[in-house]
Chain A
């Protein structure tokens, strides 16, 4: 997996609440045998008409907004547990999703795919949307090690599971992590056998 430690980027605003995984990636695009290529159909039905032409007022089709951070309304990622939702966001190029609340299973899927679900308060989320609206070039600085989000005058300390933090910073998936402590595991096994 790709490492994620320090990120400086502009952000894409999507101020809609309860964005479900059927919006992130509709079910008809789930039939695939690899994890890549889902980005093309990220937010498919908000992004394109049924005939396939881009819907100009959708934020991903607006060239003013770009960056590898998605800022979304409360309860992001609810609905089905499809891991494809995380794959689609990652494949499109998002590395961080900021919201004031995440659906539980989506949160796990995101962390397992090197995407940071960064939870802020409702108040901070509101301020972030305002900043992007006033100036789409507003830079967000995210530091995973220190667990901080900085955006102009805002500095926010976010929660992050200590194990998942190690994984993000080192680009580990669960197996990579186990392999990284292989020596300790073997050492433990030896000790237990002797005992």
Chain B
């Protein structure tokens, strides 16, 4: 889709791979719409959505809830809706993705090799900045930092998933790991569930909730020249600190990299 494939559009995601996702996962996907240039992304509400909202602090209650629910049930695109552009993907074909370049469009499946248009100065500049070679694989690349956080991937479900994976394991000795809940609410929830103890035992640093190392505005920065596997949405030059080299990946891929000290395929560790 590239970093501009969605410019001028608002994206609706549909299909059974999408409707089987939790609200958290849906939010991550919609959040990433911006990274392909779109104004936003949406997924039609369903029972999973309603269950997620019901009982929350600001959710409608009593009759208001019933009225709201009746209205929300109407918020679907019509069966015969004509979209300006349509793309179909088979979820089974999508491997864990990582980025190798300096915009979110520069990504590959973990089994693939970097393949840029070598006539493009922008692409060359990007690979030079990242210290990577065209034709090489990302697998096995030693990394120095891991950042699990940001608005994209630090909801309670992400933290639970990471905790489940790292429980009883230790981060690699030479890797610094920041784990940062997206909000104070999530931070408290994680502590109530005892996730903080699991992270601590694994050698992860639980930082203040918020943007943190996503954009290097506070002290959570990545040193120049070092690699950071980040679950945030952006891998621009210098985004995580001047000279920092960001590799975007999902929370489980990031957790596996933290344990191994290099880029690995998390599927080799599951089950």
Contacts known (A50-B242, A75-B37, A104-B8); A28 close to B3, Cβ less than 8 A:
no
Partner of B236 from A16, A20, A73, A103 at Cβ < 8 Å: A20
B residues less than 8 Å from A28 (CB atoms) = 216-217
Q: Is B86 located at the chain interface by the 8 A CB criterion?
A: no
> Max chain A CB contacts within 10 Å: which of B7, B121, B236, B239?
B236
Q: Pick the contact of A17 from B38, B39, B120, B216 — CB < 8 Å?
A: B120
CB-CB under 8 A from B217, the residues of chain A are 27-28, 30-31
Judge whether B7 and A104 touch: CB under 8 Å: yes
Min CB–CB distance B230 → chain A (angstroms): 13
Interface of A is mostly: loop
Q: A residues 71-94 with Cβ under 8 Å of B?
A: 73-75, 78-81
When chains A and B are docked, how far (Å) is the Cα of A16 from the Cα of B216?
Answer: 23
Q: A20, B103: Cβ atoms under 8 Å?
A: yes
| Inter-subunit contact B224/A50 (CB<8 Å) | yes
Q: Pick the residue among A15, A16, A27, A101 that contacts B4 (CB under 8 A).
A: A101
Number of interface residues of A (CB under 8 A): 25
Q: Cβ of B260 < 8 Å from any Cβ of A?
A: no
**0/1 string, B212-237, CB within 8 A of A gives 1:** 00011100000010000000001011
- A26 contacts B4, CB within 8 Å? no
A173 interface residue, CB < 8 Å from B?
no
Q: Is the CB of B234 within 8 A of A22?
A: yes
A16-B125 contact given A22-B234, A27-B215, CB 8 Å threshold: yes
Number of interface residues of B (CB under 8 A): 25
A139 on the B face (CB < 8 A): no
CB distance from B51 to the nearest CB of A (A): 31
- Which B residues touch A75, using CB under 8 A? 3-4, 7, 37
Output the nearest chain B residue to A22 by Cβ-Cβ distance: B236
Point out the residue from B103, B224, B239 that lies within 8 Å of A18, measured CB to CB. B103
Query: Cβ of B251 < 8 Å from any Cβ of A?
Result: no
A170 interface hit (Cβ, 8 Å): no
Proximity bits, A16-50, B CB within 8 Å = 1, else 0: 11101011001110110000000000000100001
Of all chain A residues, which has the CB nearest B7?
Answer: A104
Q: Give the nearest-CB partner of B237 in chain A.
A: A23
Question: Could you tell me the distance in whole angstroms from the C-beta of A28 to the nearest C-beta in chain B?
Answer: 6
In the complex, how many angstroms separate the beta carbon of B147 from the nearest chain A beta carbon?
14
Closest residue of chain A to B214, judged by CB?
Answer: A27
For the complex, give the distance between the alpha carbons of A155 and B184 in Å: 56
Contacts of B103 in A (CB 8 A): 18, 20, 78-79
Q: Given the complex, which residues of A lie within 8 Å of B95, measured CB to CB?
A: none
- B238-A23 in contact (CB<8A): yes
The CA of A50 and the CA of B242, in the complex, are separated in Å by: 8
Q: Does B243 contact A (CB under 8 A)?
A: yes
Known contacts A74-B4, A79-B234, A104-B8; is A27 also within 8 Å of B122 by CB? no
- Known contacts A20-B103, A103-B37, A27 near B216 by CB under 8 Å: yes
State the Cβ distance, A82 to closest chain B Cβ, in Å: 10
B242 near A16 with CB under 8 A, answer no
- Chain B residues contacting A79 (CB-CB under 8 Å) are 103, 234, 236
Chain A residues proximal to chain B, CB less than 8 Å = 15-18, 20, 22-23, 26-28, 30-31, 45, 50, 73-75, 78-81, 101, 103-105
Q: Which residues of B contact A (CB under 8 A)?
A: 3-4, 7-8, 34, 37-39, 103, 105, 120-122, 125, 215-217, 224, 234, 236-239, 242-243
Besides A17-B122, A20-B103, A22-B236, 17 new A-B residue pairs in contact (Cβ under 8 A), listed by A number: A16-B121, A18-B4, A18-B105, A22-B237, A22-B238, A23-B236, A23-B237, A31-B217, A50-B242, A73-B122, A79-B234, A101-B7, A103-B4, A103-B7, A104-B7, A104-B38, A104-B39
Q: What are the 10 closest A-B residue pairs judged by CB atoms, nearest first?
A: A17-B122, A27-B215, A22-B236, A75-B4, A20-B236, A45-B238, A27-B217, A22-B239, A18-B103, A16-B122
